[in-house]
Amino acid sequence: MVSLSKDDSSSTQDLERRLNELEEKLKESVPKKEAEELKKRISELESYLKKYEEELEAAKRTIKDLQSPLRDIVSRLKDIVGEYGKVSLQYGGYEIIVTEPHHFPWNLTINALLDASFEVWITRKDGQTVIRCKPP
């Protein structure tokens, strides 16, 4: 049988304690690695999310821009026509009665309607020139 001296016994205890400490650190380091990998993955996903949010906002702006000519055409027509005509809703489209043909902004009015892809008809009604238009 081998006998251990007091110094050997304390050295063994020190080694066992050190071994336990290292095992605990190893247990802690594995979750730290996993946590670091998860943090990295979360960071990647957040950057993808930010990119897609920016793309979504751009798409929303594009949709709004495409819808605005139809939604806002009445106010645009009223601004263009001003005091030289009367704009009203008629038959699912609009009717513009030209009250002062010599001052009426013909070019701006017709171009605004055509830019909004409206079909346009110009006729006379009760002696006044009338522009009728409707979306396609």
- What pLDDT score was predicted for residue 18? 87
- What are the residue ranges spanned by the domains of the chain? 7-71, 73-134
- How far, in Å, CA of 72 to CA of 95, rounded? 15
Concatenated DSSP letters of 106-117: HHHHHHHHHHTT
Q: Count CB atoms within 10 A of the CB of residue 108.
A: 14
Q: What pLDDT, on a 0 to 100 scale, did the predictor assign at position 14?
A: 84
Q: What is the pLDDT of residue 96?
A: 97
pLDDT for 105 equals 96
Report the alpha-carbon distance of residue 32 to residue 110 in Å, rounded: 69
Q: pTM of the full predicted structure?
A: 0.50
Per-residue pLDDT of the chain (136 residues; tens, 9 = 90+): 445 455 666 788 888 888 888 878 777 666 777 878 888 888 898 888 888 988 888 888 877 766 665 567 888 899 999 999 999 998 889 999 999 999 999 999 999 999 888 999 999 999 999 999 998 8
Separation of alpha carbons 96 and 129, rounded Å: 9
The edge-to-edge listing of strands for the beta sheet with 128-134 is 85-90, 93-98, 128-134, 119-125
